[in-house]
Amino acid sequence: MFTPRVRAAGVIAALTVVTVACGAAPGAQTSTAEGGVDARTATSAADFGGFDKLVEAAKKEGDLHVIALPPDWANYGEIIKAFEAKYGIKIESEDPDASSADEINAVKTRKGQDRAPDVLDLGQSFAISGAAEGLFAPYKVRTFDQIPEGQKEPTGLWVNDYGGYISIGCDAKKITTCPESFADLLKPEYKGKVALNGNPTKSGSAFAGVYAASIAGGGSFDDIQPGIDFFKKLKDAGNFNPVETTPATIEKGETQISIDWDYNNAAYAPQMAAKGIDWKVNVPTDGKYFQMYAQAINKDAPHPAAARLWQEFLYSPEGQNLYLKGFARPVLMPVMQSDGTIDKAAADALPEVEGEPAFPSPEQIDAAKAKLASGWDAAISG
C-alpha cells in the first residue's frame, strides 16, 4: 500500500506466511482454464462461463500471492483466513510492512516470476499511476455496477475497496487532555509527541494527514501547501515526533499521539486496552479528510484466476463486512445499508463523524503528490 505498515512482529508471524524463495517464470503454469478461457484476459466472471467456473479455475491454480497486507490493518488477517477456508486456496502473504511504492516495484521487477504479486492494495495515487503505466488487468467484479462513479476506473483497472478518515489517536494515560484538532497539536504540552504513520511521499496515511492539515489550515484539494506549512510549524515548535506509529511504539510510550486513519487508531484501542493503555480516537474537528485504498490485479499475475476470485471475495458482502469489522468503511457500505446485508454491530462501532465525505479528483491527488515530493523534505529537515 501507499503506506509502510509496520506492525507487531509476533502478530505478523502468527497470521502471515512470508515467501522468500525466488521463483522461476510461471511458464509451467497455464493461465488457460477449462473451456479455453485465458484467465489473464478475463474481464469478468462471465468470461469463465460464470462464477462457479471462475472458482474451479482458481482452485486449480491453488495459490494466491499478496504483498503489503498487515494482518491488523483493516482486518486483513481475518480476511485472508476466511478466503483460504472458503476456497481452499493458499495465500502467501509477503512483506506486510511494504509500501505502495514497494508493491509497484515488485510488479515491475518480478515480471515473469511466480513470486510476483497477483493482486495489489494501493493508495489511490499509486493505483492511478500504475494504471497509467499499463501494469494492471481490467476486471469487473459482480458488484461493479453498485460501486459509485469516481470510486473506480471505468474498465476496472483499479477499484476503491475500503477507507477511513484521518484521525488523532492519543494515549490518554500519558496525555492529560487529548487533542481534538490540528490547531490543538501545536500546543506546547505536546512537545515531541505528535507522530505520523510514515513519510507522506511514500505513505498513504501520512499523505492524507498532510492533506487533512491543509484543509484545517485553509487549504483545499487544490492546495496542499498549508498542510506542508503546518508540519513545518509543528517541527519548529518541537512537537513533531519522527517515529512511525506501530503498536510496539505505542506500547513502549514512544508514540503518544498519532495522526493516522481512524480504522488503524480504532483498532489499536482494544489491543492497547489489554496492555493497560487507554488509546482514545478523535476525528479532527478542523480537518476532516476521507480517502479510500484501491484494489488492482497485476496484468502478469502468476495466478490470474485466483487473483480475480480474490477480488470477487473482497467486494462481496462477506468481504466488505470483514473490512467493516476492522473499523474500515467499505466502498459498498451505502448499498449494504440499503439492502440489509450490512453488519450493523460493526457499523455502529465506527468512530462517529458528521457530514458526508468529499473526494479529491485523480488530478488533484497527482498535483498534491508532486507538491509533497518537492517540498516535504525541505520543510521537515530544513
Residue 33 has pLDDT above 80, yes or no: no
Share of the chain above pLDDT 70, in %: 91
Residue 30 has pLDDT above 80, yes or no: no
Q: Which of 16-25, 58-67, 170-179, 346-355 has the lowest mean pLDDT?
A: 16-25
Q: State mean pLDDT over 346-352.
A: 90
| Alpha helices (runs of H) in 110-257, residue ranges in sequence order | 124-132, 204-216, 225-236, 247-251
Amino acid residing at 195: A
Q: What is the tens place of the pLDDT at every residue in 240-255?
A: 999 988 889 999 999 9
Q: What is the tens place of the pLDDT at every residue in 58-104?
A: 999 999 999 999 898 999 999 999 999 999 999 999 999 788 889 99
Residue 372 has pLDDT above 50, yes or no: yes
Residue 27 has pLDDT above 70, yes or no: no
pLDDT interval class at 313 (50, 70, 90): very high
Which positions ≥6 away from 168 have C-beta within 8 Å?
178, 179, 180, 185, 257, 258, 259, 265, 281, 282, 283, 284
Q: What is the tens place of the pLDDT at every residue in 287-300?
A: 999 999 999 999 99
- CATH architecture assignment, domain 164-289+357-381: 3-Layer(aba) Sandwich (3.40)
C-beta of residue 260 within 8 angstroms of C-beta of residue 281:
no
- Strand segments, DSSP code E, in the chain are 32-33, 37-38, 63-67, 90-94, 119-123, 136-137, 159-171, 194-196, 240-241, 257-261, 279-282, 290-298, 329-330
Q: What is the tens place of the pLDDT at every residue in 173-212?
A: 999 999 999 999 999 999 999 999 888 988 888 999 999 9
C-beta of residue 311 within 8 angstroms of C-beta of residue 146:
no
Q: Which of 132-146, 197-211, 263-277 has the highest mean pLDDT?
A: 132-146
Amino acid residing at 301: A
pLDDT interval class at 35 (50, 70, 90): low
**The C-alpha cell that represents 129 in the structure block:** 499511476
Question: Using CA atoms, how far apart are residues 261 and 81, in angstroms rounded to an integer?
Answer: 23
Question: Using CA atoms, how far apart are residues 312 and 53, in angstroms rounded to an integer?
Answer: 13
Give the CATH superfamily of 9-162+291-348.
Answer: Periplasmic binding protein-like II (3.40.190.10)
Residue 15 has pLDDT above 60, yes or no: no
pTM over the 0.85 mark = no
**The C-alpha cell that represents 91 in the structure block:** 495465500
H or E, element range at 179 = none
Residue 5 has pLDDT above 80, yes or no: no
- Mean pLDDT over the full length of the chain: 89
More confident residue, 362 or 62: 62
Share of the chain above pLDDT 90, in %: 77
Residues of the chain with CATH 3.40.190.10: 9-162+291-348, 164-289+357-381
According to DSSP, the residues that pair with 294 across neighbouring strands are 122, 160
